[in-house]
């Protein structure tokens, strides 16, 4: 395959100026990302503050027109963006991976542009009337993770720009090139200072969280970092949207046909090789269908091609970084040592590259095992047997996390009744992790607070103002 590099050429700096960013699969250097400092952050925030009034003054219609032009440009450059994303993040081009992620960037940009948000009349009596208007907040600081770096950045940037804010974005130190490439396309259409990428290390992220020039933080990442951001934001009272970690449970009810749910169940667990916040991370299966579900998942794990992302046909890739590889390996080893049954996988795949770990299904495992209780964020799913649905619901809810959950059954009404009792920001029926740019998404409990997408997402990056007469 010929790898297109014009955007990469535009964003990469020289070897002496930048940090080498490896291809996640081969570990060869793709390019060099700038290493910005807190002083660079200060300059970016100052530029964003200066640019914000004029950007806000353009009005919704003009900003929406610009965002739609950006979405067109993302589509026109989709293959180059997908190739870069695939190399840096590791996700294959095919399957629900790199091309899918770039496509979602265009869709979410367009939806942020086109979603109407009119003032709301909240009280009316005689001559009295109260309306809520949604103003720009000012400067938004966007801090993102390495698993869906382009798409999650768009979730943070597009609604913020639409609402008249300017944005300073800090990508994960593992995937700066993907976000720089995304911003390179955005910035072909934006005035100077409206969107700036500060490609720094964790201390730059920490400085954003407490920066006096930043009015709102959109953060997606781990719960541990989320807690630090809450503390840092005390000084400037920055508004926060926190999309944090998950340990999503799925419950397969008695009477479910495993073949009918196989495909969606598998991708619920293994999308982006399991490195997805709202992936299915522990699966509770009724005793009557347990063996069949385990065998079905194991069959798909064995037959789903894993390898370098740029090689067409692969649908599973490597872990993005060594730290995550060690976490996944450690949790599966721990499960094995406790006597759980590794049905397939359970080992690295060094012939594919240093960070590949085979798609793994672990059966005969219980709550209390680290693979069940902790977020694996990788290609290893524990399948837990249950016989009483009340017990399964209790165990699903026992987690400190509450991002997503799912219920699987041919009887959708029965599934909805179970869904009502689960503690999560989203409960899916017969699917897991499916997102829609108009449907609010966010977590409960330690998975964070605030919602993204749709009208709720626009309001989250706006200052509500009541006009009362």
Q: Does 182 bind ligand NAD (CB under 6 A)?
A: no
Piece of 59-67, 170-178, 284-292, 297-305 that binds ligand NAD (CB under 6 A):
170-178
CB of 242 to ligand NAD, least distance (A): 8
Q: Does 222 bind ligand NAD (CB under 6 A)?
A: yes
Out of 82, 104, 151, 229, the only residue in the binding site for ligand NAD (CB under 6 A) is 229
The backbone region for 187, taken as left when phi is positive above 0, alpha when psi lies in -120 to 50, beta otherwise, is alpha
Nearer to ligand NAD by Cβ, of 241 and 360: the residue is: 241
Q: Does 227 bind ligand NAD (CB under 6 A)?
A: no
Piece of 118-126, 214-222, 248-256, 458-466 that binds ligand NAD (CB under 6 A):
214-222
Nearest Cα neighbor of 149 from 210, 197, 192, 79 is: 197
First to last CA, the chain: 65
Q: Does 218 bind ligand NAD (CB under 6 A)?
A: no
Distance of alpha carbon 376 from alpha carbon 365, whole angstroms = 15
Nearer to ligand NAD by Cβ, of 104 and 244: the residue is: 244
Q: Does 374 bind ligand NAD (CB under 6 A)?
A: no
Q: How, if at all, do strands 401-402 and 444-445 pair? A: antiparallel
Out of 32, 134, 267, 377, the only residue in the binding site for ligand NAD (CB under 6 A) is 377
Out of 95, 164, 245, 318, the only residue in the binding site for ligand NAD (CB under 6 A) is 245
Q: Does 173 bind ligand NAD (CB under 6 A)?
A: yes
Q: Does 244 bind ligand NAD (CB under 6 A)?
A: yes
Q: Contact, 322 vs 22, CB < 8 A?
A: no
CB of 354 to ligand NAD, least distance (A): 19
Q: Does 221 bind ligand NAD (CB under 6 A)?
A: yes
Distances (CA, A) of 406 to 198, 220, 251, 416: 37, 22, 6, 10
CB of 390 to ligand NAD, least distance (A): 28
Beta-strand ranges (E) seen in 348-432 are 360-363, 380-386, 401-402, 404-408, 426-429
Nearer to ligand NAD by Cβ, of 103 and 299: the residue is: 103
Q: Does 248 bind ligand NAD (CB under 6 A)?
A: no
Nearer to ligand NAD by Cβ, of 172 and 430: the residue is: 172
CB of 321 to ligand NAD, least distance (A): 8
Out of 41, 143, 269, 458, the only residue in the binding site for ligand NAD (CB under 6 A) is 143
Q: Contact, 3 vs 25, CB < 8 A?
A: no
Nearer to ligand NAD by Cβ, of 170 and 358: the residue is: 170
What is the b/e burial string over 351-372, where b = at least 16 CB atoms within 10 angstroms of the residue's CB?
ebbebbbbbbbbbbbeeebbbb
Piece of 5-13, 240-248, 251-259, 292-300 that binds ligand NAD (CB under 6 A):
240-248
185 to 204, contacts with ligand NAD by CB under 6 A? 202
Q: Does 37 bind ligand NAD (CB under 6 A)?
A: no
Active-site residue identified among 80, 88, 101, 243? 243
Binding mask 103-142 for ligand NAD (x = CB under 6 A): ----------------------------------------
Token pair for residue 65?
């027109």
Nearer to ligand NAD by Cβ, of 251 and 319: the residue is: 319
243 is catalytic: yes
Nearer to ligand NAD by Cβ, of 31 and 425: the residue is: 425
Site residues for ligand NAD per CB under 6 A = 143-147, 152, 170, 172-173, 202, 205-206, 209, 220-222, 225, 228-229, 243-246, 277, 375, 377, 403, 443
Catalytic residues: 243
């Amino acid at each position: 395959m010929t790898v297109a590099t014009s955007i990469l050429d535009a964003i990469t700096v020289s070897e002496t100026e930048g940090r080498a960013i490896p291809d996640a699969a081969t570990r060869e250097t793709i390019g060099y990302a700038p290493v910005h400092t807190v002083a660079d952050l200060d300059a970016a925030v100052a530029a964003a503050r200066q640019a914000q009034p004029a950007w806000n003054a353009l009005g919704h219609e003009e900003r929406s027109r610009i965002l739609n032009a950006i979405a067109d440009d993302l589509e026109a450059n989709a293959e180059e963006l997908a190739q870069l994303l695939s190399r840096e993040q590791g996700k294959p081009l095919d399957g629900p991976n790199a091309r899918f992620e770039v496509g979602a960037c265009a869709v979410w940009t367009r939806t942020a542009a086109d979603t109407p948000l009119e003032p709301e009349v909240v009280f009316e009596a005689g001559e009295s009337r109260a309306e809520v208007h949604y103003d720009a907040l000012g400067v938004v600081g966007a801090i993102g993770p390495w698993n869906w770096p382009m798409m999650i950045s768009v979730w943070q940037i597009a609604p913020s720009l639409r609402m008249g804010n300017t944005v300073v974005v800090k990508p994960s130190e593992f995937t700066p090139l993907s976000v720089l490439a995304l911003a390179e396309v955005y910035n072909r259409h934006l005035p100077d200072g409206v969107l700036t990428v500060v490609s720094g290390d964790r201390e730059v992220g920490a400085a954003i969280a407490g920066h006096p020039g930043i009015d709102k933080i959109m953060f997606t990442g781990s719960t541990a970092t989320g807690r630090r951001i809450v503390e840092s934001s005390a000084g400037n009272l920055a508004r926060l949207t926190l999309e944090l970690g998950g340990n999503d449970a799925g419950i397969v009810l008695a009477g479910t046909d495993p073949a009918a749910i196989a495909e969606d169940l598998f991708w619920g667990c293994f999308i982006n090789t399991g490195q997805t916040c709202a992936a299915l991370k522990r699966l509770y299966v009724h005793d009557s269908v347990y063996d069949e579900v385990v065998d079905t998942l194991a069959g798909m794990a064995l037959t789903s091609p894993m390898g370098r992302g740029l090689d067409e046909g692969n649908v599973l890739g490597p872990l993005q970084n060594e730290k995550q590889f060690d976490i996944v390996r450690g949790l599966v080893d721990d499960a094995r040592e406790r006597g759980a049954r590794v049905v397939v996988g359970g080992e690295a795949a060094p012939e594919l590259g240093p960070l590949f770990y085979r798609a793994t299904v672990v059966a005969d495992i219980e709550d209390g095992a680290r693979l069940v209780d902790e977020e694996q964020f990788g290609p290893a799913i524990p399948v837990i047997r249950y016989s009483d649905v009340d017990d399964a619901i209790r165990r699903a809810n026992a987690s400190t996390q509450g991002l997503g959950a799912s219920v699987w059954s041919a009887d959708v009404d029965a599934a909805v009744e179970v869904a009502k009792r689960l503690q999560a920001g989203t409960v899916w029926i017969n699917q897991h992790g499916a997102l829609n740019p108009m449907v609010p998404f966010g977590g409960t409990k330690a998975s964070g607070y605030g919602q993204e997408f749709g009208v709720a997402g626009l309001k989250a990056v706006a200052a509500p103002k009541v006009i009362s007469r």
